[in-house]
Amino acid sequence: MNARSTPLTGGFSRRGACPALSAPMRTGDGLLVRLNPVAGRLSPAQLAGLCDAADIHGNGIIEVTARGSIQIRGLTEGSAPLFAQAVDRLRISVRTGVPVQTGVLAGLDPQEIANPIGLADMIRTGIADAGLEGLLGPKVSVVVDGGGLSALDEVSADVRLTAMDSAGWQVAIAGDAHTARALGLAADDSEACQAALGLLSDLAAMGREARARDLNTGSLPARTSTLAVADPRDKPEDEGSSGSSLIGTTDLRNNQVALGVALPFGHATANAMKIFAESAASIDIDDIRPAPGRALMAICRTRDAAQILSGTAETLDFVTTPNDRRLSISACPGAPGCASGHIPSRQMAAEIANDLSSLFDGSVHLHVSGCAKGCAHPAKATLTLVGSAAGTGLILNGTARDVPLAFSNSDSAGRAFANLGKRVATQRQDNETMAQAVQRIGVSALADAFGQGSR
Ligand code: SF4
């Protein structure tokens, strides 16, 4: 058995479990912890303290994940408990147990269909009261999506409750807003809570490996018999997903303004993040929220404050506009930070974003992965560059685990991809997006362009 997949003992988690503060996960670059503040937000002083702790005990990098969790890497078995103590001293209570996620602007968003906070609290209490916690698998999650600007369309969950225009909540399982299977409609919070807890109980009865996709379709009507049948026409219109749509300023209730910034490829140095936190503190901002889409939302009292903080973020090279090309690229740490990495993924991603601006018109997603594990983007991407012992592989419409179409020597992979990008840009027809051009040009011509560029 590979050392990295060996189940860990002594408080360290096995692979697949949530790498919480008390149970770090071993990765290619040491131990990793993922934390979510119970309050959903941090004060600037807490964020600055977290940066110091990441610098002292970890590898000096802070990440925000696609689901909006804070991630610290490079901890050791000796430093991880010290990091946990530092988090305690900062009085950051971290969420444990089954995640019940709401939108980052829940309760503040004027476009929200329903405030999900009360229902999410009812579900958390219900899980605890029913003793479901230890019976459910570590990856089981619930989304309570109130809709509006911070809708959680792209966030996958075992149980999804989505606020409906026609009042009540749609109950669905196993997927994101586009892929989950709708089971029915709950008229109010109480009925929605009952439905969610019923589904979680069914899952718990099937054992800790069970996920909502494994639920026997025959058993669902019994649990949801009190729900009205879902009508596909009731599905709320997409009002923006949880990704790039919140980058920039957003007007909130009570005349507040949210500033959304994303971390380039989901990471920043602890030093840069601390400067951001201190800048926020200096202009009286006291609420910074990690957000889906590898972002941070600062809740500002005035538009002027939001603009000042945006200026700081820009000088730190954070993503401050929704059309920033870096939002179209996912990249893991790669080499040398991660021992499994064959290529310097984030460095390559930054160079590609810089050199190939015309390719990223918003339709193409590029994934640069240090190895076939594909940590940064488990889903399919338009184009994937993956490091391997055989060189850098090119994959079209797949994941980092798929078999590459062509390889380049890793030293010339940047040049090879630039050649491919130029081929797409020059052959794109007037009525096409870049993604449509990639599909039309096709596998063999793109593999050929990639191969030629690497010579
Ligand atoms: S995908 Fe990247 S971060 Fe994940 S194990 Fe491979 S190199 Fe490391």
**If you measure from the C-alpha of residue 369 to the centroid of ligand 1, how many angstroms do you get, rounded to a whole number?**
7
Residue 423 contacts by C-beta under 8 Å, 6 or more apart in sequence? 441, 445, 446, 449
* CA of 293 relative to ligand 1 center, distance in Å: 19
In this structure, are residues 137 and 171 in contact, taking their beta carbons and an 8 Å threshold? no
Q: Which of 64, 70, 72, 73 is nearest to 264 (CA)?
A: 64
The strand order across the sheet containing 248-251 reads 248-251, 257-262, 295-300, 288-291
Q: Which ligand 1 atom is the nearest neighbour of the CA of 371?
A: 6
Tokens of 391: 């060189």
A 10 A CB-CB count for 128 gives 12
Q: What is the pLDDT of residues 237-290, one digit of tens each?
A: 443 344 447 899 999 998 999 999 999 999 999 999 999 999 999 999 999 999
- Residues in the chain predicted with pLDDT less than 70, given as ranges, are 1-18, 217-244
CA of 388 from ligand 1 middle (Å) equals 11
Q: How far is the CA of 345 from the centre of ligand 1 (A)?
A: 9
User: Would you state the pLDDT for residue 218?
Assistant: 56
Do the strands 288-291 and 181-186 form a parallel or antiparallel pair, or are they unpaired?
Answer: unpaired
344 CA distance to ligand 1 centroid (A)? 10
| Pocket test residue of 369, 402, 410 for ligand 1, highest count of atoms within 8 A of CB | 369
- Output the pLDDT for position 286: 94
Q: Looking at ligand 1, which residue's alpha carbon is closest to its atom 4?
A: 375
Q: Beta partners for 95?
A: none
Q: Which residue, judged by its Cα, is nearest atom 5 of ligand 1? A: 340
Q: Looking at ligand 1, which atom is closest to the CA of residue 374?
A: 1
**Tens-digit pLDDT profile for residues 37-90:** 988 999 999 999 999 999 999 999 999 998 899 999 999 999 999 999 999 999
- CA 212 to the chain's CA centroid: 20
Residue 239 has a pLDDT of 38
The whole-number pLDDT of residue 234 equals 47
Pocket of ligand 1 (CB under 6 A): 28, 332-334, 338, 340-341, 369-371, 373-375
Q: What is the pLDDT of residue 419?
A: 93
Output the pLDDT for position 205: 92
